[in-house]
Amino acid sequence: MNRSAVREFPASGAGVAPGEILVATQIGNQGPGGLPSPAAPLVGALLQRKGGQVRYAPMPHYDDPVHHDGGAVLFVATCQQRDGTMAAVGAASATADRVAAAAARSAVQEWSAVFATRRLVAAPSPWCDGARQALEKARRAVAGRRTVHVYGQLAASPESIAELASDGAVLVGSLDEVPDGGTVFFPAHGVTPEARAAAQARGLEVIDATCPLVVRTHAEAARLAGRGDDVVLIGQLSHPVVAGIAGTAPGRISVVGTPAATSGLRVADSRRVSYLLQPGIPVEDSAPVTTALGSRFPALRSPHPDGFCYAASDRAETIRAMAADCDVIFVLGGADSPDTRQLCALARSRGARAHMVSALGDVVPGTVAGVAAIGLAESTSASPALAGLLAGALAGLGPLSVLSRRVSTEIVGAPDRGA
């Protein structure tokens, strides 16, 4: 452990108003004698949760009691950093303001009580390669044009979408909203063949960022339906990728998400049924559905595993692996986000505590007390900056080692039969 007693110093000239608490972002002057305070956002957030009026500022110096003018008092606790230097948490109040002084002291005491050496194990971005590449393509598109119409749902954080909108992207749900001669952007989830044909017929400039695995699934669905099969797509009907896949063969593709749903399937010939997996769902989650399909249709034809999207499987397995090694998993994102809730459930399924974090203020001393290893996982609703801000703040609570954990599946081809 790396505990530190809270010390009290006079702080003349700090300029702390009555009722206000100044949270120190640095204590002492810049240079060898100054102490950084990376955990200042955590101290301030804790005070604000308790109704305090908080202001952030550096404390350039604090005084010897002999020279104290009685204006302000500073409470400080220090801890060692990973590189051997020292950091501090500090809060100041007007000396005469006993309520604010008590709150400032209490906040510093609470955080100093959880100083410790820790590991922070971070999962990779929640966005797959296809989504990230599509977002970058969208950014390049709006940078070179006055207006780009994004058709359908863009797989990106709310902040990234807002940034695109400020740069000239317009989200549309119908091609009728795109003016003649305009530019339309097809996102990673893809679009229906009808939408693609309509855009071409109108002479719209099309920027296609459909994920290659989605393109492959479109082609396979059309091929299977074209040879006379009824196609079962295992996935979520509400997912934006489904419409494009189902649209490749209207009337020949059924979408099922649970074993029970297979009982209602109607096919033209039970000997000619194939299934496909929706890109974006964990491959292992489809096993109960494929078992149920096989029971109903013994001649069921399965897709080649080389065409599966393993991104969701890798993400889920990464969370499970982190949960096995960490005391708590901080899941970044909104509490109302299905993805946030799913990540929490995955972590808890392996015995780890899961704590939703939508802002730094959601992390309180109790969430890290006695914790040696913290997992950090971003949901698709998380602010892109939050992970970095939280890691920086946690570094102010003692030596912090930051690690990255990623489970990755790569298709390497068939084994060499001559080996």
Domains and CATH numbers, the chain: 7-115 (no CATH), 121-125+311-404 (3.40.1010.20), 129-210 (3.40.50.11270), 215-307 (3.40.1010.20)
CA dihedral 357, 362, 366, 370 (to 10 degrees): 40
Please answer whether residues 40 and 111 qualify as being in contact, where contact means their C-beta atoms are separated by less than 8 angstroms.
no
Q: What is the pTM of this model?
A: 0.87
pLDDT digits (tens, 9 = 90+) for 347-387: 999 999 999 999 999 999 999 999 999 999 999 999 999 99
CA distance 218 to 223: 9
In the predicted model, what is the mean pLDDT of residues 123-131?
94
| pLDDT tens-digit readout, 264-317 | 999 999 999 999 999 999 999 999 999 999 999 999 999 989 889 999 999 999
What's the mean pLDDT in 181-189? 96
pLDDT of residue 44: 97
Instruction: Identify which of 253, 242, 259 has the alpha carbon closest to the alpha carbon of residue 293.
Output: 259
- Say if residue 413's pLDDT is above 80: no
Q: Can you give the pLDDT at residue 5?
A: 86
Q: CB neighbours of 264 closer than 8 A, spacing ≥ 6?
A: none
What local confidence, expressed as pLDDT, does residue 389 receive? 96
Binned at pLDDT 50, 70 and 90, residue 66 comes out as very low
How many residues does this entry show for the chain?
Answer: 419
Q: What is the mean pLDDT of residues 131-144?
A: 94
* Per-residue pLDDT tens over the stretch 204-245: 999 999 999 999 999 999 999 999 999 999 999 999 999 999
**What integer pLDDT is reported at residue 172 of this predicted model?**
96
